[in-house]
Amino acid sequence: MYWFIYFLISLVAAPLLVGIINKVKAFFAGRKGPRLLQLYFDIFKLLKKDRILSNTSTIIMEICPIVNLTAVVVASALMPIAGYPSPLGFEGDIILFFYLFGLGRIATIFAALDTGSAFEGMGASREAQFSAIVELVIFTIITFLALISTGGFSLDLLLDVSITNTGVGLAITPLLLITLAFLIVLLCENCRVPFDDPETHLELTMIHEAMILDNAGPDLAIIHYAAALKLWTMSGFLVMLILPKLIINGFVTVCCYIIGIIVIGAFIGVVESILARARFVKIPQLILSAFTIALIAILLHSIFRY
């Protein structure tokens, strides 16, 4: 029941997170910034427009946004909240969870290549390169979660880590390190600064934005919505990692998670305001630093346990 409420809230509230990030960025820049609900307006505006496809594109371009959206929605349906596992969950669903995002990405990459534009080709190549490195970090994080887990390997049990499992004091360090590593993954996967700049209009520097330059109307609305939902879901994952287990009652739990996600949104806004974007050649180093952090977490955990 509470899981369903939370899932519905996720689907509706996801674009709000982008609005929060933009508001925080605007605050740091001394501007008013776009409205909190701007992405909703944009999505509705785009949905009302006609779909325009370039002459060179094929059916791939038409179906890929839907594939992307479906993958992200199913992935978010796999997310549990503490104490309330997803009805779709099963042993090992964490692999499916991350690969659904991978499916969404490969759909976007195919659609980008399908347009035959040089910009989109560059965007696709960058996306493929960086996501391949990120996968390494993701699996290190999964390894850590599996080590620490008391039960099976479903998302519900793996994310049921919290302070209660590791204990307080020094023993919490590995968990914090993993949280940091996942934060870096989150920023990279969701094309945020310092990896990508969602605000830029410069085609030559784009990653994600370059891939969707040729999409218009409802397709673009779907892509924007899927990106927002992905950000929401991964932020939810991050909240699960750091929030202590709370089963006071279902309503409070749902509220706590949503507040947690909003706080993470605000935090992303702060990061984007105080950091410039990294050079492309340095991005693999940044991602690999997340890998190192995750690896240290595993080592520390082993030390503390024995």
Partner 1 sequence: MNNLFIEAKNATAIKLAEIPLLSYNTFKGALLEATKEDARHIISLFVKQNPISAPTQFTLYAIIGDKEKHAFLVTSTGVGYEYPSLSNDLSQLSWFEREIAEQYGIVPQGHPWLKPIRFHRSCHIGHDAWDRKETDSIDPCVTDYFTMDGEETHEVAVGPVHAGVIEPGHFRFQCMGEDVYHLEISLGYQHRAVEKLLMNGPTLASQHILETTAGDSSIAHALSYTSAIEALSSQQSKPSKASATLNTILLELERIANHVGDLGALAGDVAYLPTMSYCGRIRGEYLNMTAELAGNRFGRSILLPFGSRLGMNVAQAEKILTWAKTVKADLDNALKLLFDEPSALDRLENTGIVPTEAAKEIGLTGSAGRASGIANDARVDYPLPALGNSYDGYTAITNPSGDVFSRALIRYKELEASHNIIFKLLEEFIAEGKSLDAQTDYLTALPELAADSMAISVTEAWRGELVHVAITNGNGRFARYKITDPSFRNWFGLAYALRNEQISNFPICNKSFNLSYCGTDL
The 10 Å CB-count burial string (b at 16+, else e) for 95-134 is ebbbbbbbbbbbbbbbbbbbbebebbbbbbbbbeebbebb
Under the criterion CB under 8 A, does residue 278 sit at the interface with partner 1?
yes
Under the criterion CB under 8 A, does residue 201 sit at the interface with partner 1?
yes
Question: What stretches of 201-249 show up as alpha helix (H) in DSSP?
Answer: 208-211, 217-242
Under the criterion CB under 8 A, does residue 205 sit at the interface with partner 1?
yes
Q: Which stretch binds partner 1 (CB under 8 A): 85-93, 183-191, 245-253, 266-274?
A: 266-274
Identify the residue whose tokens are 């218009």: 216
Under the criterion CB under 8 A, does residue 160 sit at the interface with partner 1?
no
What does the alpha-carbon distance between residue 111 and residue 187 come to, in Å, rounded to a whole number?
A: 23
Under the criterion CB under 8 A, does residue 168 sit at the interface with partner 1?
no
Under the criterion CB under 8 A, does residue 289 sit at the interface with partner 1?
no
Q: Which stretch binds partner 1 (CB under 8 A): 23-31, 45-53, 136-144, 175-183?
A: 23-31
Report helix, strand or coil for 250: helix
CB of 25 to partner 1, least distance (A): 6
Under the criterion CB under 8 A, does residue 193 sit at the interface with partner 1?
yes
Under the criterion CB under 8 A, does residue 118 sit at the interface with partner 1?
yes
SS (H, E, C) 132-194: HHHHHHHHHHHHHHHHHCCCCCCHHHHCCCHHHHHCCHHHHHHHHHHHHHHHHHHHHHCCCCC
What does the alpha-carbon distance between residue 200 and residue 213 come to, in Å, rounded to a whole number?
A: 12
Under the criterion CB under 8 A, does residue 127 sit at the interface with partner 1?
no
Of 73, 78, 111, 122, which lies in the binding site for partner 1, with binding defined by CB under 8 A?
122
Of 47, 54, 116, 199, which lies in the binding site for partner 1, with binding defined by CB under 8 A?
199
Under the criterion CB under 8 A, does residue 279 sit at the interface with partner 1?
yes
Under the criterion CB under 8 A, does residue 25 sit at the interface with partner 1?
yes
Q: Which two tokens stand for residue 32?
A: 């008013």
Decide: 208 and 122 in contact? Cβ < 8 Å: no
Helices (H) and strands (E) in the chain, counts: 12, 0
Under the criterion CB under 8 A, does residue 203 sit at the interface with partner 1?
yes
Considering only residues 28 to 47 of the shown chain, the ones binding partner 1 according to CB under 8 A are: 28-31
Of 45, 48, 282, 305, which lies in the binding site for partner 1, with binding defined by CB under 8 A?
282
Under the criterion CB under 8 A, does residue 146 sit at the interface with partner 1?
no
Question: Could you list the residues that contact partner 1 (CB under 8 A)?
Answer: 25, 28-31, 118-119, 121-122, 125-126, 193-194, 197, 199-205, 272-282
